[in-house]
């Protein structure tokens, strides 16, 4: 009877060990799958970020502006002026001085660095279209009427501007 009892205990112990090994194996496999899926997701989101990851030049931006309104864009150009009155406007020039776009800063970003002038600057932000009508005058027109506009403001493309999220002096 002693032998039978040992055999019974051995069978139960073996069954529990097998069950524990299976549980441990399932946990290891589940963790491995979780790591693989998480890594894949991170790599996918990092590689598929903004479709406009390649910076546009000012000429390309102005040419494609109607289809880019509301999109986050990255633009590079020569900074010709930073507004000395507010510091919240930066002007990027394209191939010639007739191709200029305004970048506007907000309270979060703060003032543009005046050292940006005459240097290549990369601006990232949402492209916006100025809505002009009689009942809602353009802020540009309002500032001009009040004598607060920059001289460069008149050159900039008035129908589009960039709501700047970040900027960087490249060289």
Q: What is the pLDDT along the chain (171 residues), one digit of tens a residue?
A: 566 666 666 666 666 666 766 777 778 888 888 888 888 877 776 554 444 468 999 999 999 999 999 999 999 999 999 999 999 999 999 998 889 999 999 988 999 999 999 999 999 999 999 876 545 444 444 444 445 556 555 555 558 999 999 999 998
Torsion angles phi and psi, residue 40, rounded to 5 = -60, -45
CB 123 within 8 A of CB 74: yes
Residue 145: the pLDDT is: 45
Residue 122 parent element (H or E): strand 120-129
> CATH: 2.160.10.10, 3.20.10.10, 2.60.120.1310, 2.40.50.140. Which one for 56-169?
2.40.50.140
> Both ends of the chain: CA-CA distance in Å?
91
- Give Cα 80 distance to the centre of its chain: 24
Buried b / exposed e across 53-81, counting CB within 10 Å, b at 16+? eebbbbebbbeebeebeeebbbbbbbbbb
Taking the C-alpha atoms of residue 147 and residue 10, their distance in angstroms, rounded to an integer, is 96
Q: Give the tokens for residue 124.
A: 């990232």
- Domain spans of the chain? 1-49, 56-169
**pTM, two decimal places:** 0.58
CB-CB neighbours of 1 under 10 Å: 5
């Amino acid at each position: 009877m002693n032998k039978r009892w040992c055999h019974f205990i051995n069978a139960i112990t073996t069954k529990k060990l097998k069950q524990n090994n299976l549980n441990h194996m399932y946990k290891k496999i589940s963790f491995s799958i979780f790591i693989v899926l998480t890594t894949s997701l991170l790599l996918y989101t990092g590689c598929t970020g903004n479709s406009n990851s390649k910076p546009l030049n000012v000429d390309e931006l102005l040419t494609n502006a109607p289809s880019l309104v509301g999109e986050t864009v990255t633009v590079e150009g020569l900074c010709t002026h930073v507004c000395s009155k507010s510091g919240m406007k930066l002007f990027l020039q394209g191939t010639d001085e007739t191709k200029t776009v305004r970048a506007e800063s907000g309270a979060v970003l703060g003032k543009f660095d005046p050292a940006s002038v005459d240097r290549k600057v990369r601006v990232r932000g949402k492209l916006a279209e100025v809505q002009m009508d009689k009942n809602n005058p353009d802020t540009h027109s309002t500032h001009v009427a009040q004598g607060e506009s920059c001289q460069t403001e008149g050159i900039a493309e008035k129908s589009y501007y960039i709501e700047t999220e970040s900027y960087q002096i490249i060289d």
